[in-house]
Structure 1
């Protein structure tokens, strides 16, 4: 996420800042973006289900998971520099990322089967609940994406992104950061902060997608906007899953 300049790693701060001259059926719409998101979501669920099935069939999916994680990051970087490729790369991203999500979910489901048997169901329900709540807060102008709001979210997200990249590097070096996974008080507070930050990124996503539609962005930006929304929702789901696992360990 540190590779981008927005609260959402997929939506740069200047994604929709340039003037467009696209009208009619060739222009981006909010409805079109949501339709594209539906397609990406189904693709994500398809490969997530595949990874889940493989994991419970006895296949060690760890290496495939890391390939999916870094593969998805690579695809996202390409799209950030060449957004016109979104109609082709966004579905590929959904397929690749979905496998990682499925593998991670299978691990948590197995690891917490005895102490939190419904952890995946709870994480999914909470994720969709947060998405709906944030949309309503945005729709009724309870939370607005002011310049100061955007700046704070962007800086905070960049900070978390850098921290996570360092944590991944330390993981491969055999060095762990306890509060990232343990149910200590500080660990739970950290997860709550990150979950809140991911949720607030949804406001930026909704705002930028709506602005793209108003400015007449080209049709391919529907795929890019849908991809951006998927990135945030996946991030939110994984952070909620991590938070629930910490709470389960604490109990």
Structure 2
């Protein structure tokens, strides 16, 4: 069975017969000869099949490889965001504010545009490229740094709560930890209908966002990103969808490790996790902004 997720369905090993997405293939001899329990040559040093030695995969995807690749992509995103924040002029200084707005706007547009294009390339690329995933992390970090600085300047800093940006960061990692705990403790099983719904909803929200952007260029718009009731509903829906996307990411990692995917697929997993985390962060930032407005 093939995955409906465009981030994952380009991998042939993950979607081939006997190792399909959503199918339990622990110890599947057809998927990976030489690994099935009871098969001649499994760990006994004897020939397997027609006298051929057992196939040994030493570059398999593991929790460690996923953690390493995710730490790299997330770290690069944070560094790029911090560099954008600290290397651009201050919005609080009236003498520098005009230049700061121009620079941040340009970085936000360039970063988000590059991130969107790279996300499409990474989603539909059959063989995942670590370099393109890292490039996506850099572009995403630049865009997030610019957006975060705008929100911080507009909605100010709450000394007790640490500011809207810090609240959104803490909330994002709390959502990640809570979703992971629920996935493991409640043994959540991802079905085909759930995958279809999440992917369809994701593309639907992207399409609505692009339509809103185009309409805003002509002085119109649906108000999906305004600080009103409709904007709040849209942001909450986006936050919930981001959590659902995390569940798909966790399921991909679990199934990928079970199916013995190559280690390079850890970069696909880290890309998916980064997309979900950014999705959660931006929607949480908007929700906090709406609640903090006067």
The TM-score with structure 2 as length reference comes to 0.75
Q: 1:192 to 1:153 in 2, by over 3 A?
A: same
Distance 2:162 2:226 in 1: 18
In our comparison, the structure showing a higher alpha carbon Rg is 2
SS where residue 61 of structure 2 aligns? coil
Q: 1:127 to 1:173 in 2, by over 3 A?
A: same
Residue correspondences, number: 244
Q: 1:216 to 1:197 in 2, by over 3 A?
A: same
SS where residue 224 of structure 1 aligns? helix
Distance 2:256 2:129 in 1: 15
* Residues 100-179 of structure 1 aligned to structure 2 (within 5 Å): 100-113=143-156, 118-141=163-186, 143-179=188-224
How much has 1:14 moved relative to structure 2?
Answer: 6.9
Q: Which moved more, 1:121-130 or 1:70-79?
A: 70-79
SS where residue 61 of structure 1 aligns? helix
Q: Which moved more, 1:146-155 or 1:229-238?
A: 146-155
Q: Which among 17, 20, 27 is matched to residue 15 of structure 2? A: 17
Distance 2:206 2:4 in 1: 11
* Residues 1-251 of structure 1 aligned to structure 2 (within 5 Å): 5-6=4-5, 10-12=7-9, 16-18=14-16, 19=19, 21=32, 24-57=57-90, 58=96, 59=100, 60-113=103-156, 118-141=163-186, 143-182=188-227, 184-249=228-293, 251=294
Q: 1:23 to 1:71 in 2, by over 3 A?
A: farther
How much has 1:219 moved relative to structure 2?
Answer: 1.8
Distance 1:202 1:86 in 2: 21
Determine which structure has greater relative contact order: mean sequence separation of CA pairs < 8 Å that are 6+ residues apart, divided by chain length. 1
Q: Which moved more, 1:222-231 or 1:17-26?
A: 17-26
SS where residue 218 of structure 1 aligns? coil
Q: 1:110 to 1:10 in 2, by over 3 A?
A: farther
The TM-score with structure 1 as length reference comes to 0.87
Distance 1:37 1:110 in 2: 30
Structure 2 unpaired stretches of 5+: 20-30, 33-54, 91-95
How much has 1:11 moved relative to structure 2?
Answer: 3.5
Structure 1 unpaired stretches of 5+: none
